[in-house]
Structure 1
Amino acid sequence: MIKQFFILCSGADKDLIQSCSNGEQNKYAGIGATVFFTAVMAFIAGSFALYTVFDNVYKATAFGLVWGLLIFNLDRFIVSTIKKRNDFKSELLQATPRIILAIIIAIVISKPLEIKIFEKEINTVLLKEKNAMALNNKKEVANYFQTDLDKNKSQIDSLKSDVLKKEKEVNDLYAVFITEAEGTSGTKKLGKGPVYKEKRDKHDSALKDLAILKETNQSKIASLEIKAKELQADLDKKVSETQPIIEGFDGLMARINALNKLPWLPSFFIMLLFLAIETSPIIAKLLSPKGEYDFKIEDNEMAILNMLAQNKHQSGLQLVTDAEIYDRVYADIKEDKELYNYKKQKAIELLRLQADGFIEKQKKSL
């Protein structure tokens, strides 16, 4: 049962292969098994590749099944259409387009499986790339908001600086009227005289201005700090909104690019393995000598070609014979008086009808 199934997979003629020896049947069963298991691997590879895209088992499995059947049909067609010739060069030339197609199929099949085999290493590469992208994204978003943040900070610093300047001015005035009272500066007279009073009033006025300035600037600073928090919240929100996009950087193309950043030798040998599997049925048919099945196929083809050649020759003879017969028939008819009189009568009737019709048209025109 399994042997018959694999022979069916090889694309061999069922009736013809049954008449061959057991060894010949085993050869084609082996070719069919290779075709079948290549299609199975194509199904697995296609399913995994689409799972990384859709993240849905059912969609990925459905596509993988279609992809596996497509590869199965292509491989079966490639193997079944290669025919053994007496010249190896002509056989190789005949198989070259099929080998190229097999190479393409092998590469397409192997790539998703390579991604699965090196999944852990690829995840490491993707993690590094995601971290770098997250840092760059945060930096870009921060640069976008940096102008507003710097402007807000400079305004707060300016308001605080005004308060500090005013405090320094008040402290300086305080030192002036104190030293005036102590007699260590100014008029250098000990006691609280008119100059002391003037300096004290100036200090008190500046102290009131400082209190007003503190109250005013504190209100402005509070508003600016609220705005700064809003800007920071917008920045954090923008970063958090873009983070899922970075986390989703895990598709098929990203994994292929990550695979290309790994050492190429292991991936290359896996691709060579699939290439050997995919081309093995074709190589086997090229290298194997003509077998019983090939001779029977050639014999059937020769029988058909002979039949077609005979039919063509008979058709040519029939054409020549029919032409000669019809030449003789028409030559005999040409001398027949009865046919001549009949055609003459009909020609006269036709001329009369034409004359009557012409007269009728002339009457209508008058």
Structure 2
Amino acid sequence: MKKITRFFWFCSGAHIDTLKKYPIEHNKYVGIGATIFFTALFAALSGGYAMYFVFSGSAFAVGFAILFGLLWGTAIFNMDRYIVSSINKEGSTNHQILQASPRILLAIMIGVVISRPLELKIFDKEIRQKLKTSYLKGQHRKIDTLQKTYQQKYAMELGKNVELKKEKDSLEKDINRSRYQLNQEVFGDKTNQTSGISGYGTYAKQKQSVLEEKQARLKTVTDNLGQMDQYLSARKDYEGLNSTRLFSEKQLDSLSSVAGFSDRNWALGQLSYNENGTRDLDTYLAIAFIGYLFILFECLPVFVKLMSPKGPYDTAIAKIAEANIYHAEKDKDRDIAVTDNVYDHHLDADVNKRKQMITGQAEYDLGRHSYD
């Protein structure tokens, strides 16, 4: 327990030698340190999970996820530790809040970032179902687009094909009717279309000739229709209509399993809406509250430090800081004084040297004058 306590003290950014002197403050800084540590731990898990999806399918996905998770968690830990330890409890409440406001704003952004990957994991089943529905609708739209493009591009050929089919149907009906009338003519059935004379006579031959013409035309139309169907089928293959099919359930499961971070993030956002576009309040609140929870959790280290009352440790740290500042200023003044003394010494030496030079010049001039 002593090692755990010291570890959490370290996480809180406290000066351990000073903190040891005030047992009443020990639990408070264990709590602050534990909050900072677990915030960084959740950040590491979230960052690693997000990076795993970025490199999903790669052989190094797990390695990249672990590495990034450790780096991200360490960065969050270091930032929380520094900012919490830098909040000065000697100042007023407004001053402390002003000190913490940049950290709170940053915590909100970090909370959103670290909560999103965990939300993706929590709603994994619903996200997969939403992705499968989206992929299926997308495939429907793709097929409809291809079909529409095909119909527009080959409108003339399709129109001619429809006309040939109509003519074929009409010819088949006419041939059946003409064949029936021919039989009536041969057997001597009296109707509005037959003579009533049995046998293969003149009227029967005429009807036989008409029937053969219609059959010949039907053969021509059938051949043309077959060629047109073959051409249009080849065009469908070329345009991709025949090869494009709706996804099977197995294919949808596979696609949703390998979906990237962007697709899953989009699906999570779509969970808050119903099929008709209205907001699903229950799902929206569930997702929102998870995000708010992580934002609050990320802000906890600052809130804990702000809410904790000023204690003897804070007063001792403030006095130590004042003493260090005082000694630093004294050392600075002493260094300045030493520098000034050295400067004055060099200045006096320069003055004496100049005096000696002036005196020597004067003696030289005086001696020269006496000689002259």
Give the TM bin, normalised by the shorter chain. 0.7 to 0.9
Partner of 1:349: none
CA-based RMSD: 4.0
Q: Is the 8 A contact 2:171 2:218 kept in 1?
A: no
Residue type of the alignment partner of 1:224: M
Partner of 1:8: 10
Partner of 2:275: none
Unaligned 5+ residue runs, structure 1? Answer: 345-366
* 2:151 maps to 1:131: no
TM-score (norm 1): 0.75
CA distance in structure 2 between the partners assigned to 1:175 and 1:128 by the alignment? 59
How far off is 1:163 after superposition?
A: 4.2
* 2:222 maps to 1:218: yes
* 2:243 maps to 1:237: yes
Q: Is the 8 A contact 1:141 1:239 kept in 2?
A: no
How far off is 1:153 after superposition?
A: 4.8
Residue type of the alignment partner of 1:259: L
* 2:315 maps to 1:295: yes
Q: 1:66 aligns with which of 47, 64, 71?
A: 71
Higher mean C-alpha deviation, range 214-223 or range 173-182: 173-182
Change (3 A) 1:167 1:258: closer
How far off is 1:63 after superposition?
A: 2.6
Q: What aligned pairs does 1:292-331 form with structure 2 within 5 A after superposition?
A: 292-331=312-351
Deviations 1:207-264 (A, max 9, x none): 4433433333333323333344445553141346998799458433333333334232
Partner of 1:95: 100
Higher mean C-alpha deviation, range 217-226 or range 101-110: 217-226
* 2:145 maps to 1:140: yes
How far off is 1:97 after superposition?
A: 0.8
Larger radius of gyration: 1
SS in 2 for 1:7: helix
Q: What aligned pairs does 1:35-114 form with structure 2 within 5 A after superposition?
A: 35-55=36-56, 56-114=61-119
Q: Is the 8 A contact 2:111 2:298 kept in 1?
A: yes
CA distance in structure 2 between the partners assigned to 1:228 and 1:97 by the alignment? 67
Residue correspondences, number: 340
Q: Is the 8 A contact 2:84 2:302 kept in 1?
A: yes
Residue type of the alignment partner of 1:30: G
Q: What aligned pairs does 1:109-124 form with structure 2 within 5 A after superposition?
A: 109-124=114-129
Higher mean C-alpha deviation, range 55-64 or range 147-156: 147-156
CA distance in structure 2 between the partners assigned to 1:166 and 1:273 by the alignment? 76
CA distance in structure 2 between the partners assigned to 1:320 and 1:26 by the alignment? 51
Change (3 A) 1:303 1:163: closer
How far off is 1:297 after superposition?
A: 2.4
Q: In proportion to residue count, which structure has more helix?
A: 1
Q: Is the 8 A contact 2:181 2:194 kept in 1?
A: no
Partner of 1:256: 265
How far off is 1:289 after superposition?
A: 2.7
How far off is 1:116 after superposition?
A: 2.0
How far off is 1:143 after superposition?
A: 1.6
Change (3 A) 1:62 1:102: same
TM-score (norm 2): 0.74
Of all paired residues, the percent bearing the same amino acid is: 30
Partner of 1:362: none
Q: Is the 8 A contact 1:107 1:275 kept in 2?
A: yes
Q: Is the 8 A contact 2:185 2:198 kept in 1?
A: no
Change (3 A) 1:15 1:236: farther
